[in-house]
Amino acid sequence: MQSAPLRSFGQILANWAGVLPFLAFAGLFLILPALHIFIGAFLDAEGRVTLQNFARLFEPYLFRAFWLSIQLSVISALLGAAVGFAMTWAVIHGNLPRGLRAPLMTFSGVAANFAGVPLAFAFIATVGRLGLVTVLLRDWFGVNLYATGFNLISFWGLVLVYLYFQVSLMVLIIAPALDGLKKEWREAAATLGATPGQYWRMVALPVLFPALLGAFALLFANSFGAIATAQALTGSSQTLITIQLFAQIRGDVLQDPRVGYAIAMGMVLITAFANTIYIVLRQRSERWMK
């Protein structure tokens, strides 16, 4: 017969056996590396606690990079949310042929994952200096796209490219919310004499608001952490904060890792804030989808 402590030890082990590998993995390759950076952000070269590293984030070149990333993320998230919402609304509530919905959802699933380097190549091949659209505009209409001030390797060029995965992500996450928008509410509003404008302002948008804001937050975080597309498209001419950090890590810019720690921590704070908004609002908006 087993002694009591031995059995309880075996029981504890059996209780934990399934999650131990997971917890060990998460500890070693997720928590520890992140903690290492967060703690390092508060230490100086001699290991004393300091806020000096964060003060350096306000040096113009870093501040500008943060600001550029925030602008890019806000604008691409706003436009992406608007276009994605309009497309999803069109296939769900616009009385379009029913067969359009499934292809849009499937395509969005693919397009949301078609990010990174290949996406940059696709846009270079389309609206780059020798791209299909550029050439056709020149040959058919005599329009020189690049004389109009357009440039793919610019802020608005990046917005144009980012929209590809932003719009498709929006379609994927807003479809359940638009499905939850009951047809009866619209009919009820109309029966009570509401104009379509009043219906949108007083019924649909208030109901959708948490979902829309949450989706915006997720799209923001989605583009804020991105780097591969921008790197492949612009090299480092558009100094987003991710590209600055990348250069910092590779040692192209500066040898002090502590500034890198502070940049990394600043980025995580921003994406954590955006993701928290998304998660909280998603729970609120799910109330209407039952």
Which of the residues 48 through 107 are near other proteins (CB under 8 A)? 83-84, 86-87, 89-98, 100-102, 104-107
Amino acid at 201: R
**Residue placing its CB nearer to other proteins in the complex, 190 or 249:** 249
Residue 271 binds other proteins, judged by CB under 8 A = yes
Q: Closest by alpha carbon to 204, among 225, 185, 227, 230?
A: 185
Burial label, 233 (beta-carbon count in 10 A; 0-12, 13-18, 19+):
buried
Applying CB under 8 A, among 109, 153, 203, 236 the residue interacting with other proteins is: 109
- From 45-53, 125-133, 139-147, 148-156, span contacting other proteins (CB under 8 A): 125-133
Rounded to an integer, what distance in angstroms lies between the CA atom of residue 203 and that of residue 190?
A: 11
In the bound complex, what is the minimum distance in angstroms from residue 237's beta carbon to other proteins? Answer: 13
Residue 123 binds other proteins, judged by CB under 8 A = yes
Helix ranges (DSSP H) in 17-154: 20-26, 32-41, 52-55, 60-93, 101-113, 117-127, 132-141
**Residue placing its CB nearer to other proteins in the complex, 210 or 233:** 233
In the bound complex, what is the minimum distance in angstroms from residue 168's beta carbon to other proteins? Answer: 8
Applying CB under 8 A, among 7, 10, 34, 287 the residue interacting with other proteins is: 34
Applying CB under 8 A, among 8, 9, 19, 59 the residue interacting with other proteins is: 19
Residue 30 binds other proteins, judged by CB under 8 A = yes
Residue 254 binds other proteins, judged by CB under 8 A = no
What secondary structure does DSSP assign to 116-147, as a single string? SHHHHHHHHHHHSTT-HHHHHHHHHH---GGG
Applying CB under 8 A, among 7, 36, 64, 284 the residue interacting with other proteins is: 36
Q: Closest by alpha carbon to 41, among 251, 268, 282, 235?
A: 268
Applying CB under 8 A, among 50, 268, 280, 286 the residue interacting with other proteins is: 268
CB–CB of 161/126 below 8 Å?
no
What secondary structure does DSSP assign to 216-247, as a single string? HHHHHHHHHT--HHHHHHHTTSS--HHHHHHH
- Could you tell me the two tokens for 202? 């007083």
3-state secondary structure of 97: coil
Q: Which of residues 151-210 bind other proteins (CB under 8 A)?
A: 163-165, 167-169, 172-173, 175-176, 179, 183
Rounded to an integer, what distance in angstroms lies between the CA atom of residue 261 and that of residue 275?
A: 21
Applying CB under 8 A, among 8, 10, 13, 16 the residue interacting with other proteins is: 16
CB–CB of 200/136 below 8 Å?
no
Applying CB under 8 A, among 70, 74, 122, 280 the residue interacting with other proteins is: 122
Applying CB under 8 A, among 249, 252, 254, 256 the residue interacting with other proteins is: 249
Residue 259 binds other proteins, judged by CB under 8 A = no
**Residue placing its CB nearer to other proteins in the complex, 213 or 227:** 227
**Residue placing its CB nearer to other proteins in the complex, 127 or 210:** 127
